[in-house]
DNA sequence: ATGGGCACCTGGCTGC
DNA sequence: TGCAGCCAGGTGCCCA
């Protein structure tokens, strides 16, 4: 899924339905997710009130009275708010049942998602502890991206998908940000000049913000908390557009595989 | 420390 | 129609 804009869209959709509510039950129908759902999790969270719905990178954080649920949507996961009694469908693995009667239902065909719980500070959790700064916060800027690209031989596209260095950018928005910054995805990170790093930092922020505004990008599985798709797909410049004319210069968009992921770029606009 | 490759899993599509 | 092969919004871990 789910890159930062899709998780943020989910967070916003879920928030009004869960904050202030008490958890009636956590029903785990399929515990075999990326990380096996702990057998005692339902007992640990039942009865707790949801205080806040936050996000860190691509994790949705449901802050409870005595701990925090860390929810990751993996590649194909979605969370929807559904009325009581909605019949379960294929790949509906987990239900967070609230005292309103509504259910927060997790569907994930590929089961790369996860539901974790920590009673400590979420940022101290092993999976969150070494994440890079939030791209939409102040700490992520031209200077930051310049510093982390220094000395790196890895391709810039792979660097901006490395969550220890940049967070929230997945395969779609990596190609899109590089197009906007007019930088070729295969360039070694260390060859970026300072103005290019600055341009890329701005492009990452811009594309993520614009995608959040559009409710994210739906290609296959993703839907928001109310079941509606994201509309950013219409605004993609290069992703899944191999062979189609560049929306800026009409040159056919190219595709290649980088680090086992498809990468798209315009050979004319990007250098 | 850095970088590359694999693994986890299901489903949809293409082409023979 | 069947089936093999490839592809898909992520990311932790192992190895060189």
Question: Separation of CA A240 and C1' B13 in angstroms?
Answer: 15
- Among A11, A21, A58, A180, the active-site one is A58
A148 touches strand C (CB under 7 A): no
CATH 1.10.8.50 applies to domain A142-265: yes
Do the domains A142-265 and A4-124 match in fold? no
Chain B bases closer than 7 angstroms to a protein Cβ: 2-11
In chain A, domain spans: 4-124, 142-265
* Residue A136 CB lies within 7 Å of the nucleic strand C: no
Catalytic site includes residue A58? yes
* Whether pTM exceeds 0.95: yes
- Strand C: which residues 213-252 of A lie within 7 A (CB)? 216-222
For domain A4-124, give the fold: N-terminal domain of MutM-like DNA repair proteins (3.20.190)
In order along its 271 residues, chain A shows pLDDT tens digits of: 699 999 999 999 999 999 999 999 999 999 999 999 999 999 999 999 999 999 999 999 999 999 999 999 999 999 999 999 999 999 999 999 999 999 999 999 999 999 999 999 999 999 999 999 999 998 999 999 999 999 999 999 999 999 999 999 999 999 999 999 999 999 999 999 999 999 999 999 999 999 999 999 999 879 999 999 999 999 999 999 999 999 999 999 999 999 999 999 999 999 9
Strand C nucleotides, any atom under 7 Å from protein beta carbons: they are 7-12
Alpha-carbon A141 to chain mean position: 20
């Amino acid at each position: 899924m789910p890159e930062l804009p899709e998780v943020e869209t989910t967070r916003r959709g879920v928030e009004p339905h869960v904050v202030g509510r008490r958890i009636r039950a956590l029903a785990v129908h399929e515990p075999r997710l990326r990380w096996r759902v702990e057998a005692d999790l339902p007992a640990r969270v039942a009865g707790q009130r949801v205080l806040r719905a936050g996000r860190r990178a691509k994790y949705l954080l449901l802050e409870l009275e005595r701990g925090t649920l860390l929810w990751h949507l993996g590649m194909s996961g979605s969370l929807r708010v559904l009325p009581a009694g909605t019949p379960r469908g294929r790949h509906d693995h987990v239900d967070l049942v609230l005292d309103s009667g509504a259910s927060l239902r997790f569907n994930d065909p590929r089961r790369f998602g996860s539901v974790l719980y920590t009673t400590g500070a979420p940022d101290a959790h092993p999976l969150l502890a070494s994440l890079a700064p939030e791209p939409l916060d102040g700490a992520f800027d031209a200077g930051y991206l310049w510093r982390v690209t220094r000395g790196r031989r890895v391709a810039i596209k792979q660097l901006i998908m490395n969550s220890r260095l940049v967070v929230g950018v997945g395969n779609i928005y990596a190609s899109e940000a590089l197009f906007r910054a007019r930088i070729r995805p295969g360039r070694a990170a260390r060859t970026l000049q300072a103005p290019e790093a600055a341009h890329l930092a701005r492009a990452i922020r811009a594309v993520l913000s614009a995608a959040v505004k559009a409710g994210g990008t739906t290609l296959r599985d993703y839907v928001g908390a109310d079941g509606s798709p994201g509309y950013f797909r219409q605004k993609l410049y290069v992703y899944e557009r191999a062979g189609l004319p560049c929306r800026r210069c009409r040159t056919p968009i190219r595709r290649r595989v980088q680090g086992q992921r498809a990468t798209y770029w315009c050979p004319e606009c990007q250098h």
